[in-house]
Amino acid sequence: MDEFQASYESSSRSPRSLRRPLPRWRLDRVDGDGPLPILLTVDDAAALLRTTRRAVYAMVERKQLPGIIRIRRRVLFRTDDLLDWLDQKRAPSLKE
């Protein structure tokens, strides 16, 4: 296989496979044992919700997420509001 064909095949992957995972340090901030910051960035919220930045921005536009703070073009989330909302949305387990 020549160099051009190899680069073409690698660039013709599906869009899902091109999605970059969140950097490990971002996941450590959200998934770690330490306390979460008071305000979460879009990347932090996406890691917490196990979704993409694009999906978080779509939910912000549809006003589906609580605790949104806008500072000019920046979108931040109150950690407590987002965690309370997640707790309300969870389904009860079979043991409960």
Q: What is the pLDDT of residues 83-93, one digit of tens each?
A: 999 999 888 87
Q: State pTM to two decimals.
A: 0.64
Query: How many Cβ atoms from other residues are within 10 Å of residue 79's Cβ?
Result: 19
What's the rounded Cα separation, in Å, for the pair 5 and 2? 6
**Average pLDDT in the 5-25 region?**
50
Phi-psi region of 72 (alpha: psi -120 to 50; beta: other; left: phi over 0): left
Query: Residue 66: which pLDDT band, with cuts at 50, 70 and 90?
Result: very high
Percent of the chain at pLDDT > 90 equals: 53
Question: What are 94's two structure tokens?
Answer: 């079979």
Phi–psi pair at 90, nearest 5 degrees: -70, 150
Residue among 15, 7, 85 nearest 52 (CA): 15
The correct CATH number of 20-89 out of 2.30.30, 1.10.10, 2.50.20, 1.20.1070 is 1.10.10
List, in sequence order, every beta strand (DSSP E) within the chain.
39-40, 68-71, 74-78
Query: Residue 41: which pLDDT band, with cuts at 50, 70 and 90?
Result: very high
